[in-house]
Amino acid sequence: MRICLIADATSIHTLRWAEYFVNQGDEVHIVTYEPPKNELEGVKFHIIRSIFNNLYLDFFPRHLRMYLLIHKMKPDILHAHFISKFGFHAAFLGYRPLIMSAWGGDILVVPYWSKLLWYLTGISLRRTDMVYGVSKDICEKIVTNFRVSSSRVKLVPFGVDTKLFHPAAEKNIVGSNDLVVFSNRTFLEIYNIETLVNSIPLVVEKNPNIKFVIKGTGPLEDSLKSLVLELGVSQYVTFIGWVEYKEMAGLLHNCDIYVSTALSDGTPVSVLEAMACAKPCIVTDVGGVSEWIDDGLNGCLFTPRNPQELAQKILELAANSIKRDKFGKNALKVIEERGDWQRIMTDVRTQYKELVRGHEIH
C-alpha cells in the first residue's frame, strides 16, 4: 500500500506509526510542518514550511501545497493524526479513503476554545471514512458531541512496544536504600508537573529515603526548577532533560513508582510504558486513564492538582513493597491483554486494506 500520513513528524507517535508500515513493506509518506529530529529509513518526508511564520496565516498556503501534493501522490490511504491541526487540512483536501486519529487534546481541549474550532472539529470528523480514538472516553465524545456515527469510530490506543518496554530483573543504580519516584511528562501546563513538585516536601518530611527523578523539557522548565529550590528539596530531586526514546525503558527500570499528574489525557503512552515495565503507577483520574488503571488493583488514581493526596499515595506505596509488586504485575497483565503495539497495528493494517478494497469497488 501507498500510505500518506499528515501528521507531526517531530512526534514519536507519528514515527512509530510510520515505522510499523515501513516494516510491513508499505510505501510511507509523511506530510508535515516541521522535519523530524532524526530521519526514519524508508519514509519519505514532505515538509510544508511556514511562509508568514504564523500558524493561522500559513494555513491556506500550506493547504494549497498539500492539495497539489496529495492529488499528485495518489496514496491508497490518507491518514491525518490530530484533528485540530492536520485533520483540518485532510477534511478539505477532497481525497478518499480518509482516516483521522484523535489523540486527546484535539477532542478534550481545543474544540472548547471557540465556536469556530468546535465547528471545524465536527465537520472534519464527519468527512472521514473512519475515525480512530486513543481511548473509549474520546471515542464516546466523538460520537455524542460531534454527531459521528459510532460505526465509523474505532478504539485504537497507541499501545506499547513490548519488545522495548518490559520488566527488568533488577534496578541498575547505586543507592539501594533509596526508593525512586519517576515522572516523564513534558513541562507544559497540561501535565501539571508542579503538583508533583509540591508533593515532594510532604513526602520527604516523613520518608527522606525517597528520591524523585523528573525527566522532561518544555517552557516551564525554569519555573519548575525554581520551585524545587524555593521548597528546599533540591537534594531529593534530579532533573533529566531530553533523552533518546530507546533509553526510556532503562529509566523506567530504575524507578520504583511512576507518577503522572496530567490535567487531561486520552491514553497516555508514557503510563502504558511504565505498566509494561511492571511499575506501580500513580496517575490523575482524568480522561481515559481509568480504562487502564484500576484504582487499588493495578495502580492508584488521584484527584488532579492535589499534592496532598499524591503525597499520601506515594508514601503508602513506598511503605508497602508487596503492594508495589502486586500493582506492577497486574499492570503488566493489562498491557499483555490489550496494550501490545504489534497486535494493535496488525488490526489497523487489516482495516486499511478493507478501506482500500471498499474504495476500489465504489
Tell me the pLDDT band of 177, cut-offs 50, 70 and 90.
confident
Looking at the predicted structure, is the pLDDT value of residue 174 above 50? no
E strand or H helix that includes residue 277: none
Phi (first) and psi of residue 6, to 5 degrees = -100, 110
pLDDT tens-digit profile of 108-126? 999 999 999 999 999 999 9
Q: Mean pLDDT over residues 155-162, rounded?
A: 93
pLDDT tens-digit profile of 205-225? 999 999 999 999 999 999 999
Phi (first) and psi of residue 201, to 5 degrees = -60, -35
Looking at the predicted structure, is the pLDDT value of residue 171 above 80? no
The per-residue pLDDT for 54 is 85
Looking at the predicted structure, is the pLDDT value of residue 170 above 70? no
CA geometry: angle 71, 76, 82, nearest 5 deg: 80
Q: Mean pLDDT over residues 145-167, rounded?
A: 94
Looking at the predicted structure, is the pLDDT value of residue 129 above 80? yes
- 8-state DSSP, 85: I
Judge residue 259's burial from the number of C-beta atoms within 10 Å of its C-beta, 0-12 exposed, 13-18 middle, 19 or more buried.
buried
Looking at the predicted structure, is the pLDDT value of residue 153 above 50? yes
pLDDT tens-digit profile of 288-333? 899 999 999 999 999 999 999 999 999 999 999 999 999 999 999 9
Torsion of CA 141, 146, 147, 149, to 10 degrees: -60
CATH fold label, 2-159+340-361: Rossmann fold (3.40.50)
In this structure, are residues 24 and 349 in contact, taking their beta carbons and an 8 Å threshold?
A: yes
Looking at the predicted structure, is the pLDDT value of residue 104 above 50? yes
Judge if 2-159+340-361 and 179-338 fold alike in CATH terms. yes
Prediction pTM value: 0.85
Looking at the predicted structure, is the pLDDT value of residue 350 above 90? yes
Q: Mean pLDDT over residues 280-291, rounded?
A: 94
Which CATH homologous superfamily contains domain 179-338?
Glycogen Phosphorylase B; (3.40.50.2000)
Strands 130-133 and 98-102: parallel
List, in order, residues 6 or more apart from 198 with CB less than 8 Å away: 227, 231, 307
Q: Mean pLDDT over residues 32-49, rounded?
A: 93
pLDDT tens-digit profile of 221-265? 999 999 999 999 999 999 999 888 889 999 999 999 999 999 998
Looking at the predicted structure, is the pLDDT value of residue 179 above 90? yes
Strand-pair partners of 45: 30
**CA-to-CA distance for 238 and 87, rounded, in angstroms?**
38
State what percent of residues in the chain have pLDDT above 90: 88
Domains of the chain: which residue ranges? 2-159+340-361, 179-338
Grid cell of 192 as nine digits: 501539571
In this structure, are residues 77 and 1 in contact, taking their beta carbons and an 8 Å threshold?
A: yes
